[in-house]
Amino acid sequence: MRLSQSLGKTIREAPAEAETVSHQLMLRAGLIYQVAAGLYAYLPLAYRSLRKIEEIIREEMNLAGAQEVHMPALQPLDIWEKTGRDKALGETLFRVKDRRERDLVLAPTHEEVVTSLVKSNVNSYRDLPLIVYQIQTKFRDEPRPRAGLLRVREFLMKDAYSFDSDEAGLSISYDKMSQAYKNIFERTGLPTLVVEADSGAIGGKDSQEFVLQAEAGEDTVLTCESCGYAANLERASFGLNPLPAEKEKPLSEIATPGTTTIAEVANAVGVEESRILKSVFYISEGKLVFVVIRGDLEINEIKLGNTLKMPDLRIASGEEVRAADIVPGYASAVGREELFVVADESINSGVNFVVGANKDGYHLLNANFPRDFKADVMADVALAKEGYNCPNCHSTLNARKGIEVGHIFKLGSFYSDRLGATYLDEHGKEHSMIMGCYGIGVGRLLAAAVEQNHDDKGIIFPNPIAPYQVHLISLNSDNDSVAELSDSLYQMLQGHGFEVLYDDREESAGVKFNDADLLGMPVRLIVSQRNLREQAVEVKLRSEDSGRLVPIEEIVDAVGAMLKTD
């Protein structure tokens, strides 16, 4: 492609609306055009890159035995009502009406349709297992689109769905997809962390996220360097530091006027924060949930929500707490048998805790579970943090920011039950199919690639997804011999199968160099009068600081070698 003819121009200053690096660079490089909040057009260079990512995904999916299909993005609302996800998704679901006032949705994902599709085409265990996938545009009315292509309202996603006759089959399909994902991210040149993830309200047991490390990411991942444990913050567990063992002592009251926070109580009573039990109150559908956790820890509301399976869980207001006859700052479960109490497992890590006395200005010493209070639910609902102990070994957890580019789930029979996707086994008995789903954000992956691969001058595309492999710069294009050599190199390299972006513009050297750095193709060739005198062309990798002169007749081999080794 001749740069002089290519749609999309580079700009010197980043538009004010862009704050994230990938957003700025993609706008400056002329890769994307914003149409509205969270809606972007891909210009030719970006679209080439996107298609390369798609091709790698297709190859690996096909290799894993998945079959490509294409399903409509526009779908009737009623299949979403059957699974109840119209309500679960709420305002995130784009809704439209057709001319006959029939309710339709712009699909945010395709479980409903794919399950219906498979239901009408698969009846027997002989047809299973089955994995289908597509690369389709998804629509989500996100509360807040942000950071360019990282969170948008219309985006390309590769989504795959597996159908098996049982859980064992699902595990095999899941592992196949997991391996395919590893291959895909390896081949795109984008190293990802595989982390345990929260599967959400509808997901089944297992779920893994593929996360690209980047500061701009929305995900926080906790990792352990020594044993390899890695989990999303929403899901991460951790090892508790054990408290000193001692005998249970009798309850006693202590005056603690004006101490309503854990820090104040610790200070007033003269104990570590970990020796206090903290009480936090939530409300779900009008019901009060009393949560007890060790004083040095915080509650992970995702874990809490998953444990309780209660909708619309939220922190209770001061009025709601007082209405339940609870004294804020001095509350505990001691003597409050009538309340619904959720205890974090951390309360088992010690004895003789300080708790509220359920009256203003007093705490109790030496509260012990289960001697002094009960718990209706005991679970891990604690928020992990950097510096906490790894749950598997004795090392410490590190926190990193990342971009979620892939997510795989074991779904189970949630959709097949509701939509009647069943098969007959070898005994003629009917069962629901067991499903898994597997997504990759294609556009987000492109943005994440830029986020992860750049320097202060611009993008540094990984070879496999670069829009072009070679950026050919003609420096003195009004000089006949330079122009001639440039043109012939352009033809020759293309003849050898290389993808060449040819800067044939009448621009100064500085402009061309800076644009080449900004656009970030892997290999740069410079044809100039100066180099011509040596009968050579300068060859340089974008990822390296300096290039070298290569005799003209060796250019093709040199470029080939550089693309291979990089």
Partner RNA sequence: CGGGGUGUAGCUCAGCUUGGCAGAGCGCUGCGUUUGGGACGCAGAGGCCCCCGGUUCGAGUCCGGGCACCCCGACCA
* Contact residues for RNA, defined by CB under 7 A: 9-17, 19-20, 23, 28, 34, 36-38, 85, 88-89, 92, 109, 111, 140, 142-147, 151, 200-203, 218, 301, 314, 407, 409, 411, 437, 439, 457, 475-476, 478, 506-511, 513-518, 526, 528-531, 538, 547
| CB nearer RNA, residue 82 or residue 530 | 530
| CB nearer RNA, residue 397 or residue 475 | 475
Find the shortest distance in angstroms from Cβ 168 to RNA: 22
| CB nearer RNA, residue 529 or residue 535 | 529
Report which DSSP code applies to 239. Answer: B
Helix/strand/coil for 320: helix
Please identify which residue in the block is written with the tokens 């012990």: 368
Helix/strand/coil for 271: coil
Find the shortest distance in angstroms from Cβ 278 to RNA: 19
For residue 329, report the phi and psi dihedrals to the nearest 5 degrees.
90, -20
Tally Cβ neighbours within 10 Å of residue 254: 13
* Neighbouring-strand partners of residue 294: 277
Find the shortest distance in angstroms from Cβ 378 to RNA: 24
| CB nearer RNA, residue 433 or residue 475 | 475
Report which DSSP code applies to 202. Answer: T
Q: Which conformational region is residue 41 in: left (phi greater than 0), alpha (psi within -120 to 50 degrees), or beta?
A: beta
| CB nearer RNA, residue 76 or residue 361 | 76
Residue 537, H or E segment: strand 536-541
Edge-first strand listing for the sheet containing 470-474: 500-503, 470-474, 523-527, 536-541, 548-551
| CB nearer RNA, residue 340 or residue 513 | 513
| CB nearer RNA, residue 336 or residue 530 | 530
Virtual CA dihedral for 35, 37, 41, 45, nearest 10 degrees? 120
| CB nearer RNA, residue 355 or residue 532 | 532
The single-letter code of the amino acid at 148 is G
Find the shortest distance in angstroms from Cβ 289 to RNA: 15
Find the shortest distance in angstroms from Cβ 358 to RNA: 28
CB 354 within 8 A of CB 364: yes
Residue 253's Cβ-side half-sphere holds a number of Cα atoms within 13 Å equal to 10
State the helix-helix crossing angle for 442-452 and 44-63, rounded to 10 degrees: 110
Find the shortest distance in angstroms from Cβ 117 to RNA: 15
Give the closest residue to 471 by CA, choosing from 525, 512, 536, 510.
525
Provide the residue count of the chain. Answer: 566
CA distances from 429 to 125, 168, 252, 432 (A): 10, 18, 63, 10
Find the shortest distance in angstroms from Cβ 366 to RNA: 35
Find the shortest distance in angstroms from Cβ 77 to RNA: 16
| CB nearer RNA, residue 278 or residue 540 | 540
Find the shortest distance in angstroms from Cβ 196 to RNA: 13
CB 77 within 8 A of CB 103: yes
* Neighbouring-strand partners of residue 195: 209
| CB nearer RNA, residue 204 or residue 467 | 204
Find the shortest distance in angstroms from Cβ 85 to RNA: 6
* Neighbouring-strand partners of residue 314: 283
The single-letter code of the amino acid at 350 is G
Find the shortest distance in angstroms from Cβ 291 to RNA: 15
Token pair belonging to 55: 């091709």
| CB nearer RNA, residue 342 or residue 525 | 525
Find the shortest distance in angstroms from Cβ 484 to RNA: 16
| CB nearer RNA, residue 230 or residue 364 | 230
The single-letter code of the amino acid at 42 is Y
Bridging pattern class, strands 470-474 and 500-503: parallel
For residue 236, report the phi and psi dihedrals to the nearest 5 degrees.
-55, 140
